Amino acid sequence: ACSSKYVLSALHPMWQGPLVAPGGNRQSPIDIRVRKSVFDPHLKPLTPDYDPRTCSQIWNNGYSFLVEYDDTTDKSTLKGGPLEDNFRLCQFHFHWGESNAWGSEHTVDRRLFPAELHMVHWNSDKYSRFEEAVMEENGLAVIGVFLKIGKRHEGLQKLVDVLPAVRHKDSVVEFTRFDPACLLPSNIDDYWTYAGSLTTPPLTEAVTWIIMKQHIEVSHDQLAVFRSLLFTSAEEEVQKSMVNNFRVQQSLQGRTVRSSFT
Ligand SMILES: COCCCN1C=C(N)c2cc(S(N)(=O)=O)sc2S1(=O)=O
Ligand SMILES: [Zn+2]
């Protein structure tokens, strides 16, 4: 699986700082300037093909909660779009704010969303394990989906109901038969894509980002349950609410953001 117990917690000063990885010139997240993005007619439709039976567990790693997938075979894959190779789904997680006014990592013409979903995949054509791919240029592909407050998301509710069981950092529970495709917007043909990095340590510049133009809706109450999670483990005397777990935005440094739509 792709989660690493060694990821620094969101409270670690390193993570919160406006840190740019040493020599980093393709860091994430960024603001997507719509009028500066370049339409690329060669971008293909994205073809996610997920098997809900590969869903294995959910855990609180101290910066978000991760829903992990068994990535030992090519059962849940992502191809197409800007990707040349086959990528395997290993986990998805979210970033959110303490209020609905902010929370997303990426922005669109400076517009903030209350939360952002990241679906993390690694290049199984080029690498044999996630830990290898995460250190390599274009070893990872992450789909980003913006969340807006609106009607209740029925598919998300199964996940929301189990969150109290992973309230504290390092807690984990079995979580099975969840189809991550239910979290994708109806239109996945319209997206922006650019070369970037992980937004949490180790901040490696290994990510082909694919940011969906269409958002999904979740209810106010569903997002409130995200905010009931804690950054801190059960032993710590001071409990800290898991909110504002997003990184500061990074400069584009000459990169081009391509769009799959005009
Ligand atoms: C050796 O293991 C390295 C860490 C593994 N991961 C931990 C993250 N913090 C992380 C953040 C990600 S994000 N916010 O850029 O999508 S993807 C991802 S991850 O690649 O799944
Ligand atoms: Zn993320």
199 lines ligand 1 (CB under 6 A): yes
pTM of the model: 0.94
Gap from CA of 135 to ligand 1 centroid (Å) = 11
pLDDT of residue 8: 45
Task: Measure Cα distances from 103 to 11, 66, 134, 224 in Å.
Answer: 16, 17, 25, 12
pLDDT of residue 6: 42
pLDDT of residue 21: 58
pLDDT of residue 4: 53
pLDDT of residue 55: 97
pLDDT of residue 56: 97
Gap from CA of 117 to ligand 2 centroid (Å) = 7
pLDDT of residue 16: 52
Q: Is ipTM strictly over 0.85?
A: yes
pLDDT of residue 255: 98
Query: Which long-range CB contacts under 8 A does 137-142 form with residues at least 24 apart?
Result: 137/205, 137/206, 138/195, 138/206, 138/208, 139/206, 140/87, 140/198, 140/206, 140/207, 140/208, 141/78, 141/83, 141/87, 141/207, 141/208, 141/210, 142/118, 142/207, 142/208, 142/209, 142/210
Cβ count near 54 (within 10 Å): 21
4 lines ligand 1 (CB under 6 A): yes
Angle (CA) 247 253 254, round 5°: 135
pLDDT of residue 9: 43
pLDDT of residue 1: 56
Whether the Cβ atoms of residue 122 and residue 134 lie closer than 8 Å to each other? yes
Ligand 1: atom nearest CA of 200 is 9
pLDDT in single tens digits along all 262 residues of the chain: 575 544 444 444 445 555 555 568 999 999 999 999 999 999 999 999 999 999 999 999 999 999 999 999 999 999 999 999 999 999 999 999 999 999 999 999 999 999 999 999 999 999 999 999 999 998 999 999 999 999 999 999 999 999 999 999 999 999 999 999 999 999 999 999 999 999 999 999 999 999 999 999 999 999 999 999 999 999 999 999 999 999 999 999 999 999 999 9
Q: CB within 5 A of ion ligand 2: which residues?
A: 118
pLDDT of residue 23: 67
Whether the Cβ atoms of residue 55 and residue 91 lie closer than 8 Å to each other? no
Ligand 1: atom nearest CA of 144 is 16
